[in-house]
Amino acid sequence: MTGLASLTTVFPGLVWAMAALALVQASRRAALWRLGTAASVAWLDGLAKLPRRYLVDVHHVVARDAYASRMHAVVAGGLLAASVLTALAILPPLGGFRPYWVLVAAAFGVTAAGSLLVGARRYPEKQKRLSAGRFQILPVLLVAYAVGGTVTALLLAFGGADGLLAPLALALAAAGGLGLAFEVRHGPMRHAAAGALHLVAHPRPGRFEGRPDTALQALDLDAPRLGSEVPADFAWNRLLSYDACVSCGRCEVACPAFAAGQPLNPKRLIQDLVAGFSPSEPAYAGAPYPGGRAAEGARGPLARLIGPDARIHPDTLWSCTTCRACVEECPMMIEHVDAVVALRRHQTLERGSLPEKAVGPVTDLRQTGDPGGRPLAARTDFAAGLDLPPISVRGEAAVLLWLGEGAYDLRYGRTLRALVRLLREAGVDFAVLGPEERDTGDLARRLGDEATFQALARANVATLARYRFERIVTADPHALHTLRNEYPAFGGCYTVVHHTALLLDLIRAGRLKPGRLPDLSVTYHDPCYLARYNGETEAPRAVLDAIGVNRAEMTRSGRRAMCCGGGGGAPVSDVPGERRIPDLRMAQAAETDAGIVAVACPSCTAMLEGVPDRKAEIRDIAELLLQAVEAGR
């Protein structure tokens, strides 16, 4: 029985050794995270909420890929259960109890099954979005650990531990298990350690409370360094979050810039940040930046990240539309957009190296309060012949209509005219700021010019403070997001409503009585800043249903819709790609055979209407509703 006795110690001992090795590897990693700047973290709260964040929020994202979800549940659940059970067997009463080992064997068996599922994604050929490299060994290590563990546990359960098989099985389990623990530093298993800690110390805990925590955080303009130039400029929990990346490539599949062949791949971007602060990181083994160059430049916590000769080319940085599709899809809850904006802030504020074509609009924003350098008083020109009262006359109104930059655009003026006529029809008491309305500064902020944004925000907040209104209504989701979510940091707290939500209210209250337009076939394109940034996907659809159009959904819709390419200053940065994002989106719309693509944002209108050879018409929800109201008279 000596063999059995020692095996009941050695086998659990192996798991304890694995734990110790994993701990060592994780703490070597933690030394790198500590290079980052300080961040305030609610540790106790985060720890208490970890299980919920993992089981609810992470699972919600993981479950979008049913196979991956099942695979992960089986393999991670099995691995954890088997390891914990084995570790507990160090206690003699358990280790000596044979039926206990049956239980352990079962857990290892489950792990083995899961390992095969992991392997099936990678062999004979790996799925396109996954990374190769060290990730290709993962199934091998898992199978070794699981099979070795199963056999060892079975031997302990049913005897035969003295035989020749026992050392072989144990050796196999040890090779696999220690391999897995070793991989916590540079390999695939890092995501487990960093991911769990990231969920505890997440920089946007609001995400887990069911509210869209999407506002960019205000930058302290008096800080000695503005934005992030080198990895050490990121907060430590941001560095930690990048380490959580499991290279699943879900973000890459969702990214419009990647699809358009622009030199951006969010997975690669995150991995470049990781490689930036971890000089001994193994080479990246996933899809590259489309058309981009191989990584160059020095690595290290103090090495410059952005530059033609640095790890990340400026074109990569400026390709991002800040659409948040990557964030939405990331099972590790990584905040790519925050990283992009932090890097942009440094480029813009400290180096003045905006993309050449973006300099003009940002300069105009700073000097005139409009990205086109147009007179503010001309914003209401679109409404010639309509009654558009300025709020300065009475000093108050129930609804303050925020016109936004779209008002200067001839095409979009049609939408706003429709909206104004609908408000009149419904007898809404509304007014506009007129020449007092400055741009919200959204463009400047997404392009990293936080100084201009803050100046505009303060000016607008001061203007708004002079008037009384119940809520702000706007047809521009970018303005909506900025006013609703980002102005509170500057002392402006308003109830901000998107025009589609207001119109739905008016229909439901019976103040608008639309007829039905059953002959129209419509598909609705969700604006990123409404759907993903603010979680509003239902009101526009409900309006369309209220006017009885034939509504079809695109494959990507709602919070998972694809961007039109119009956000984040991408149109002004204009980084060349192989295709154009709006063309891709219109092709997706064409798959529904709808004759009309309904939109709810001036940027989407402009981008989608600019698609050549488009078969479908582009109509704003307000325009369609007005048509229905007129048909109903």
Partner 1 sequence: MKIAILLSAGRHPVSGAAVLPRLEAQAIRLAAGLGQHIGLHAGPEAAVVAEALGQGLAHIQHAALPEEADPVPALATCLAALAPDLVLAGRRGQGGAETGIVPYAVADRLGYPLIPDIIAAAPGEEAGTLHLDQSLGRGARRRVTIRGPVVATVHPDAPASFAYAYGQARRGVIEPVVGALAPHPAPVPAVEERPYRRRPKLVKGAPAGSSAAERLKAATGEAGPASSGRLLVRPDPDEAAREILAHLRRIGVLAAPRDPR
The closest alpha carbon to 305, from 238, 247, 259, belongs to 238
**CA 264-269-275 angle, 5° bins:** 145
Cα separation, 204 vs 384, in Å, equals 45
Shortest reach from residue 335's CB to partner 1, in Å: 23
> Binding of ligand SF4 at residue 71 (CB under 6 A)?
no
Q: How far is CA 160 from CA 33, 151, 152, 525, in A?
A: 47, 10, 9, 65
> Binding of ligand SF4 at residue 259 (CB under 6 A)?
no
Let me know: does 486 contact 216? Beta carbons within 8 Å: yes
- Pick between residue 194 and residue 362 the one whose CB is nearest to partner 1: 362
- Pick between residue 100 and residue 242 the one whose CB is nearest to ligand SF4: 242
- Pick between residue 221 and residue 393 the one whose CB is nearest to partner 1: 221
Let me know: does 546 contact 514? Beta carbons within 8 Å: yes
Cα separation, 633 vs 121, in Å, equals 59
Q: Which residue in the set 329, 449, 486, 526 belongs to the binding site for partner 1 (CB under 8 A)?
A: 449
- Pick between residue 239 and residue 326 the one whose CB is nearest to ligand SF4: 326
In this structure, what DSSP letter does residue 555 have? S
Total number of residues that touch ligand SF4 (CB under 6 A): 30
Site for partner 1 in 230-269 (CB under 8 A): none
Q: Of ligand SF4, partner 1, none, which one sits near residue 27, judging by CB under 5 to 8 A according to partner kind?
A: none
What crossing angle do the helices spanning 538-546 and 621-631 adopt, rounded to 10°?
Answer: 20
Shortest reach from residue 366's CB to partner 1, in Å: 7
* Residues 320-339, mask of contacts with ligand SF4 (x by CB under 6 A): xxxxxxx--xxxx-x-xx--
Total number of residues that touch partner 1 (CB under 8 A): 26
Cα separation, 472 vs 483, in Å, equals 9
Shortest reach from residue 240's CB to partner 1, in Å: 27
Cα separation, 53 vs 197, in Å, equals 11
> Binding of ligand SF4 at residue 58 (CB under 6 A)?
no
Q: How far is CA 396 from CA 460, 487, 491, in A?
A: 16, 20, 20
The number of angstroms, rounded, from the C-alpha of 572 to the middle of its chain's C-alpha atoms is: 22
Let me know: does 301 contact 31? Beta carbons within 8 Å: no
> Binding of partner 1 at residue 220 (CB under 8 A)?
no
Q: Which residue in the set 151, 226, 273, 616 belongs to the binding site for partner 1 (CB under 8 A)?
A: 226
The closest alpha carbon to 293, from 275, 271, 308, belongs to 308
Shortest reach from residue 312's CB to ligand SF4, in Å: 12
Q: Alpha helices of 96-164 — where are they, by DSSP H? A: 98-120, 138-158
> Binding of ligand SF4 at residue 110 (CB under 6 A)?
no
Instruction: Report the C-alpha dihedral over residues 299, 302, 306, 311, rounded to 10 degrees.
Output: 0
Bridge partners for 471 per DSSP? 399
Site for partner 1 in 349-378 (CB under 8 A): 349-354, 356, 359, 362-363, 366-369, 373-376
Candidates 49-57, 255-263, 299-307, 619-627: pick the segment binding ligand SF4 (CB under 6 A).
255-263
Peptide bond into 124 cis (omega under 30): yes
Give one word for 491, left, alpha or beta, with left for phi > 0 and alpha for psi -120 to 50: left
Q: Of partner 1, ligand SF4, none, which one sits near residue 250, judging by CB under 5 to 8 A according to partner kind?
A: ligand SF4
Shortest reach from residue 442's CB to partner 1, in Å: 18
Shortest reach from residue 324's CB to ligand SF4, in Å: 5
Take residue 450 and report the two structure tokens written for it. 């936080």
> Binding of ligand SF4 at residue 446 (CB under 6 A)?
no
Let me know: does 569 contact 447? Beta carbons within 8 Å: yes
Q: Which residue in the set 72, 250, 478, 499 belongs to the binding site for ligand SF4 (CB under 6 A)?
A: 250
Q: Which residue in the set 56, 91, 221, 393 belongs to the binding site for partner 1 (CB under 8 A)?
A: 221
Q: Of partner 1, ligand SF4, none, which one sits near residue 356, judging by CB under 5 to 8 A according to partner kind?
A: partner 1
Let me know: does 419 contact 382? Beta carbons within 8 Å: no
Q: Tell the residue number behind the tokens 């698609």, with chain if given.
A: 611
Q: Which residue in the set 35, 144, 180, 251 belongs to the binding site for ligand SF4 (CB under 6 A)?
A: 251
Q: Give the number of other Cβ atoms within 10 Å of residue 223's Cβ.
A: 9
> Binding of partner 1 at residue 218 (CB under 8 A)?
no
Shortest reach from residue 319's CB to ligand SF4, in Å: 7
Take residue 117 and report the two structure tokens written for it. 């599922």
- Pick between residue 334 and residue 431 the one whose CB is nearest to ligand SF4: 334
Q: Of ligand SF4, partner 1, none, which one sits near residue 583, judging by CB under 5 to 8 A according to partner kind?
A: none
SS3 527: coil
Q: Which residue in the set 148, 266, 540, 602 belongs to the binding site for ligand SF4 (CB under 6 A)?
A: 266
> Binding of ligand SF4 at residue 316 (CB under 6 A)?
no
> Binding of ligand SF4 at residue 270 (CB under 6 A)?
yes
Candidates 228-236, 247-255, 394-402, 462-470: pick the segment binding ligand SF4 (CB under 6 A).
247-255
Q: Which helix (H) or strand (E) holds 86?
A: helix 66-88
Sheet holding 430-432, edge to edge: 430-432, 396-402, 468-474, 496-498
> Binding of ligand SF4 at residue 245 (CB under 6 A)?
yes
Site for ligand SF4 in 560-589 (CB under 6 A): 563
Candidates 200-208, 333-341, 344-352, 524-532: pick the segment binding partner 1 (CB under 8 A).
344-352
Cα separation, 356 vs 622, in Å, equals 36
The number of angstroms, rounded, from the C-alpha of 507 to the middle of its chain's C-alpha atoms is: 33
Q: What is the contact surface with partner 1 in residues (CB under 8 A)? A: 221, 225-226, 348-354, 356, 359, 362-363, 366-369, 373-376, 449-452
Q: What is the contact surface with ligand SF4 in residues (CB under 6 A)? A: 245-251, 254-257, 264, 266-267, 270, 320-326, 329-332, 334, 336-337, 563
